[in-house]
Amino acid sequence: MLGAALLGASAAALGTGGAAVAAEGDAGRGRGLAGLPKPAVIAHRGASGHRPEHTLGAYQLALDMGADIVEAGDLVITKDGHLVCRHEPEIGGTTDVAAHPEFAGRRTTKSLDGVATTGWFAEDFTLAELKTLRAKERVPANRPHNTLYDGVWEIPTFEEVLRWQDEQARRRGKQVFIYPELKHPSYFREQGLPLEERLAKVLRRHGKHRRTSPVLLQSFEPTSIRRMRELVDNPLAVLLSSAGTRPWDLQQQGDPRKVSDLITPQGLAWIASFADGIGPTLDLIVPRDAAGNLTSPTTLVADAHKAGLILHPYTMRNENPFLPANFRRGAEPDAYGDAFAAFSAYFDTGIDGVFTDQPDTGLLARELWRAAR
């Protein structure tokens, strides 16, 4: 069984299982969430453990590796109203903007969800100006091998991602799922650049606003997701940070609820009234103790499923600093720990999928986990 699992996973990663891919495509086409395996392997910002995040190179590699869903991308907006894919509005950490003297004067400090943040911001640039920049690795200390690709790719627009998605679906004969996130929607709305309406308009223009469209939408702001429910029929998920935090939109509205309130049966029922799922941090699924080791799972998976919600927690990474302490191997910041054991521990909880920076590891881990059971 182990040999079969390894062979199957290798074939999927290398794209050699042609007949299986075709059959899978026939079964999954037009089914939306119903076309996804469980647990789904979601490429976090693309194959960001292997390429600089939110680049077409990272998205393509994730798909070639066999990822079930590609998180393409985190959506921010330009000065002239174009949706682009960056981890945050501040682009100094993920592009070479600091090396462009013509943009030195754009460096500024802004309040981003109540936090003073200094750098260069996407909304201060036109799309044409952003296209002169190139992406770079965000965490080079953990991924020095990714710095090889610094400067290779430009910042993709969301419309470019949708065209890429269509082309990949034609080539592969099956749905290609993407999972864009609305980043800091309250922040952009205050600047007269509402993300929700622009995103809905783009999705409708491309015919990808339906219940069965292979485009899942997510945000850390529940009211943004509730607004999207009024604009499109796509599957929607509310992202949840640590238990003691308050979503920024709720803070602005004077809503006292914290994430700890939203993961109660009552809070989950409220989310289920306008969303299809949640994306909790993995620590809400299996907490860590003071030493960083995994403890016993919470009831969140069962409670969410009882409310009719799917769970796509985040984020599994292979490198030591990101893993629970009991799965680390050595102390090097770029060394891999026992990611397979960590994946297995999370899969055991009954989650519907997981975000990972290394989708190749996640896919093989799933095959090994299935074979062992």
Q: How far apart are CA 328 and CA 347, in angstroms?
A: 18
Residue 305's CB is within 10 A of a number of other CB atoms, namely: 15
| Structure token pair of residue 188 | 């952009």
Dihedral sign for Cα atoms in the order 17, 19, 24, 29: positive
Where are the alpha helices (H) located in 82-221, listed in sequence order? 127-130, 158-172, 185-190, 195-205
Q: How far apart are CA 224 and CA 249, in angstroms?
A: 8
Apex CA 16: angle with CA 24 and CA 12, to 5°? 60
Q: How far apart are CA 202 and CA 214, in angstroms?
A: 14
Condensed to tens digits (0 to 9), the pLDDT of residues 140-177 reads: 999 999 999 999 999 999 999 999 999 999 999 999 99
Q: What is the CA radius of gyration of the chain?
A: 20
SS3 120: coil
Across the strands, what pairs with 143? none
SS3 279: strand
> What is the structure's pLDDT at 29?
47
**What are the two backbone dihedrals, phi and then psi, of residue 298, each rounded to the nearest 5 degrees?**
-80, -175
Residues of the chain with pLDDT under 50: 1-29
> What is the structure's pLDDT at 82?
98
- The answer to whether 173 and 22 are in contact (CB under 8 A) is yes
Q: How far apart are CA 234 and CA 228, in angstroms?
A: 9
Burial of 183-205, coded b for 16+ CB within 10 Å and e otherwise, reads: bbbbbbbeeebbbbebbbebbee
Place of tokens 């914290």: 258
Q: How far apart are CA 320 and CA 372, in angstroms?
A: 25
Q: How far is CA 259 from CA 186, 203, 290, in A?
A: 18, 29, 20
Among 158, 145, 62, 94, CA closest to 359: 62
Count how many Cα atoms sit within 13 Å of the Cα of residue 316 in the half-sphere of its side chain.
32
- The answer to whether 224 and 186 are in contact (CB under 8 A) is yes
Q: How far apart are CA 146 and CA 344, in angstroms?
A: 26
Among 217, 221, 196, CA closest to 276: 217
Place of tokens 């992406």: 135
SS3 70: strand
> What is the structure's pLDDT at 325?
97
> What is the structure's pLDDT at 30?
61
SS3 212: coil
- The answer to whether 356 and 44 are in contact (CB under 8 A) is yes
Count how many Cα atoms sit within 13 Å of the Cα of residue 11 in the half-sphere of its side chain.
13
Across the strands, what pairs with 84? 76, 157
> What is the structure's pLDDT at 32?
76
Let me know if 341 is exposed, middle or buried by CB neighbors in 10 A (0-12, 13-18, 19+): middle
Among 372, 373, 360, CA closest to 9: 360
SS3 127: helix
Cα 176 to chain centroid distance, Å, stands at 15
Place of tokens 């050595």: 330
